[in-house]
Structure 1
Amino acid sequence: MTDGLQLDWTAYLLAMLAALAAGAINALAGGGTLITFPTLLAIGIPPVAANITSTVALCPGYFGATLAQLGDIRSQTQRLWLVLPAAIIGGVLGGVLLLHTTEKLFQSLVPFLILLASLLLAIQTPVRTWLNQRLQAHTAQGIPAFWVVPLLLLAAVYGGYFGAGLSVVVLAALALVLDDSLTRLNALKQAVAFCVNVAAAVFFLFSAKVVWPVALVMAVGALAGGVLGGKLAGSINPTVLRWLVVSIGVIIALVYWIK
């Protein structure tokens, strides 16, 4: 419920800066939602509306990440037809689930969701290392590719509901079933995450819960942040940045838990 919501120029500035940081963080290490969502809560937007507005606003960043790996994505057309329907359906189902969650219940889930997202971000590097070793050993051979669909459907439902840490879950699901290089699976992951986010965002367009002035300001910030993150990729250690975001997420979760 965003009717009557009054925000001053400082709120819009904070939202734009948060989206700028999130766009850069997503380009470098992932976990940008852990910055935008708490910021929107802090400026007075209700939890469900804050989550929805963040999802819509960060779409340009997902598009940029997908565009950057378009070559590897186009070479997997047959897989796209297999996984994208699950991504879209799951994203919409997650959105439906979110809209049927009361503000009170979602507010009580906020610290757990932020902690879960922080955990997923924290284990990103170990998961990538394990997946790389697993793929090199070709232990996924013989598993029917269709089994990736239910795994991705579950991941997409989570992505449509909250979304932070979605990339880690999707990449793990793909690598558990599909036998390919981590580079190609990472490109496929970008396409899946983009579709999940867009499917949920399009569904949210009709929810009357998007705070549009904030979302538009944030979209500009996220796009600029993505460009900035791409340029800083060679000068910033993504591992250090990732642990900084994880630490911020844990602190925020604890603060909301105490509240």
Structure 2
Amino acid sequence: MSPTDLLLIGLAGIWAGFINTVVGSGTLITFPVLLALGVPPVVANVSNTIGLAPGSFAGAWAMRPELKGQRSRILRLGPLALVGGIVGAVLLLRLPAEAFAAIVPVLIGLGCLLVVLQPVLSRRVAARRERLGEPVAGSPGGPRWLGAGVLATGVYGGYFGAAQGVLLLGLLGIGLDEPLPRINALKNVLAMLVNAVAGVVFILVSHVNWPVAVVIAVGAVLGSQLGARVGRRLPPTVYRVVIVTVGVVAIVNLLR
């Protein structure tokens, strides 16, 4: 990696950390950049997951005021996210690299679709709550299916992770009667747990491009702080367009 390459990766890490804190889908920024610079897909995914984990922690820490009163939810849903992250990481390492190369374009396409549909999903959730006139969830911890959804999202996040945050926002928004900032803060904690445990698995048993991982980590931590401070003030359409554009470029590169 040349200094210019590492600079590009660092900038992508900043943007990914910013987006992950506000919405999710930062992987759709960093992963295509790594592919464009010649990093093999599986190594890129492993190094990217490890690099984004510190940014996830920093983002969750920066939003701790919104986490007040959610300890019981974290204790209930957190272990499920951890188990899912381990399963997803093991699947990534067990399945052949050819399978990852074939699956990733589909996952990126799904991630782009989720990013585009997120506003529609949010409006439908809000409309449903208004019609009911009462909390959607039957308990503060949410309905039983929410745990299964968090587990499945953890598997997805451990395997690849693009749009993991968007998936969690959708699930938590439907299952919990909370304002978006508190749901987003909980999402950051769950995504952090998935990235952290998957990163540990990768460090123990897989090849990691450490210069790439370290540069992404530094950028992601910086970006997460920006996201926590000013992300909600920016028009969501701006970064949504960027994510989808980069995702389409990634799909094209993978299908060549």
Q: Does TM, scored on the shorter chain, surpass 0.5?
A: yes
Shift of 1:230: 4.7
Amino acid at match of 1:34: L
Q: 1:20 is matched with which residue: 4, 7, 14?
A: 14
Instruction: Please identify, of 97-106 and 139-148, the stretch whose mean Cα deviation from structure 2 is larger.
Output: 139-148
Deviations 1:134-193 (A, max 9, x none): 334336354873332111111110011111111121122223333444443332222211
Range that drifts further, 136-145 or 56-65: 136-145
Distance 1:33 1:234 in 2: 20
Q: Which residue of 2 aligns with 1:242?
A: 240
1:101 corresponds to which of 78, 95, 112 = 95
Comparing 72-81 and 176-185, the one that deviates more: 176-185
Deviations 1:202-229 (A, max 9, x none): 2211123211121112211222223344
- Alignment of structure 1 residues 141-220 onto 2, 5 Å: 141-142=137-138, 145-220=143-218
Deviates more, 1:245-254 or 1:210-219: 245-254
Change (3 A) 1:197 1:235: same
User: What stretches of structure 1 move > 6 A for 4+ residues in a row?
Assistant: none
Post-superposition shift, 1:237?
Answer: 2.3
Go from structure 1 to structure 2 and tell me whether the alpha carbon gap of 1:194 and 1:132 turns closer, same or farther (over 3 Å shift). Answer: farther
CA contact (8 A) 1:30 1:242 kept: no
1:52 counterpart residue number = 46
Secondary structure of the residue aligned to 1:164 is coil
> 1 CA distance for matches of 2:19 and 2:176?
28
Q: Please state whether the residue corresponding to 2:218 is helix, strand or coil.
A: helix
CA drift at 1:24 = 2.9
C-alpha separation in 1, matches of 2:16 and 2:225: 11
The alignment status of 1:36 with 2:5, answered yes or no, reads no
Gap regions ≥5 residues in structure 2: none
Distance 1:234 1:173, change over 3 A: closer
- Give the Cα–Cα distance (whole angstroms) in 2 for the partners of residues 51 and 194 of structure 1: 16
Q: Following the alignment from structure 1 to structure 2, what is the Cα–Cα distance between the partners of residues 230 and 176?
A: 23
1:113 maps to which residue? 107
Q: Name whichever of 24-33 and 201-210 sits farther off.
A: 24-33
Judged with a 3 Å threshold, the aligned counterparts in structure 2 of structure 1 residues 208 and 221 are, in CA distance, closer, same or farther, namely same
Q: Judge which range, 187-196 or 126-135, deviates more.
A: 126-135
Report the CA distance shift for 1:104/1:28 in structure 2 as closer, same or farther (over 3 A). Answer: same
Identity among equivalent positions (%) equals: 40
Task: Give 1:3's aligned residue.
Answer: none
Calculate the TM-score normalised by the size of structure 1.
Answer: 0.87
Query: Residue 140 of structure 1 corresponds to which residue in structure 2?
Result: 136
Whether the aligned pair in 1 keeps the contact of 2:85 and 2:194 (CA below 8 Å) is yes
Q: Deviations over 1:46-66 (max 9, x none)?
A: 111100111110112211221
Quick check: 45-54 or 184-193, which moved more? 184-193
Answer whether contact 1:93 1:160 (CA < 8 A) is retained.
Answer: yes
What is the CA–CA distance in structure 2 between the aligned matches of 1:252 and 1:83, rounded to whole Å?
Answer: 32
Instruction: Decide whether aligned partners of structure 1 residues 195 and 182 sit closer, same or farther in structure 2, where only a CA change above 3 A counts.
Output: same
Q: In 2, Cα distance between the equivalents of 1:184 and 1:152?
A: 16
What RMSD in Å do the two structures reach over aligned CA positions?
2.3
- Quickly say closer, same or farther: Cα 1:208–1:104, change in 2 above 3 A: same
Q: Give the TM-score of the pair, scaled to structure 2.
A: 0.88
